[in-house]
Amino acid sequence: MHNKVVIIIKLLCLFLAFFLSTSFACDKTIKVGVGPAWPPYAYKSQQTYTGIDMKITRLVLKTAGFCSEFIALPSASRGLAELKKGTVDLLTAASFNQQRAKYSHFSLPYRHERMRIFGRANNISPSRTLAQLMLSDKTFVVNSGSYYGEEFDNLRKLPQYKDQIVPVKMINQRLSMLQAKRVDYMIDDEVSGLYLIAKKGYSEISVHPYIVNDNPIHFMLSKKTVNSAQSQKIDDAIKQLETPIADIITNYMD
């Protein structure tokens, strides 16, 4: 009799373990491509990715019923190439354009982004536009693979400006080049630029009043590995998490 009870208990434990594992199983593990450190959006702390975009990504994917795996990539441009191939399923901090939409689903926006011009205070020329600054032979360091809006996209295609645009994948290096006067200006995300300027104590660097680009930011999802129904789950989660997402962003702005 005792042996039968033991067997029944073991079977119940196995059933419970199976039930719990299947109940909490993910619909899919989403492979998230992460480029070089870009505080306060994405960086490593104690070997774990954290920051605004990383926390939002985990929260959205969990709410949508997905697990997440974060994969380090050497640059933003490499991330786009891997998403196109389906090696990674998702990229964060994406601006919409038609070329990217050919190979990816764009989620609903989950935050906003403004691209600004940063320069040394004695070289800021506040009355000049981006086009006027480029016309005066000024050099600009930018992130390779990032989208800076239609105006910059059109300007960078002109052959006369080819040598004035310097692509560098690490924001810390871009900022150091500006501080060391190796370039005249840096074009970057407003929040990230101001965050690092304050952290490094670069009081000589300020933000130009001209706004290069102001646009909503999305997740990009590979059409090779993520279907429309799965993309919709992510959109539903973003709508559901509007307040928690805003709280994550606010916590980094304080």
Classified by CATH at the fold level, domain 25-112+216-253 comes out as D-Maltodextrin-Binding Protein; domain 2 (3.40.190)
pLDDT at 15 over 80: no
Question: Which residue bears the tokens 């450190």?
Answer: 37
Average pLDDT over residues 19-30: 66
CA angle 251, 149, 158 (to 5 degrees): 145
CATH of domain 114-214: 3.40.190.10
C-alpha 90/C-alpha 110 separation (Å) is 14
pLDDT for the residue numbered 66: 98
The C-alpha atoms of residue 139 and residue 109 are separated, in whole angstroms, by 32
pLDDT of residue 144: 84
Quick: pLDDT tens for 127-185: 999 999 999 999 999 998 889 999 999 999 999 999 999 999 999 999 999 999 999 99
Residue 253 pLDDT grade (very low, low, confident, very high; cuts 50, 70, 90):
confident
Mean pLDDT, residues 119-132:
94
Query: Does this model's pTM top 0.75?
Result: yes
Nearest to 26 by CA among 218, 224, 230, 232: 230
pLDDT at 19: 41
**Tens digits of per-residue pLDDT, 51-90?**
999 999 999 999 999 999 999 999 999 999 999 999 999 9
Domain(s) labelled CATH 3.40.190.10 in the chain stretch across: 25-112+216-253, 114-214
Coil, helix or strand for 52?
Answer: helix
Residue 16 has pLDDT above 50, yes or no: no
pLDDT of amino acid 145: 80
Give the pLDDT band (50/70/90) at residue 1.
Answer: low
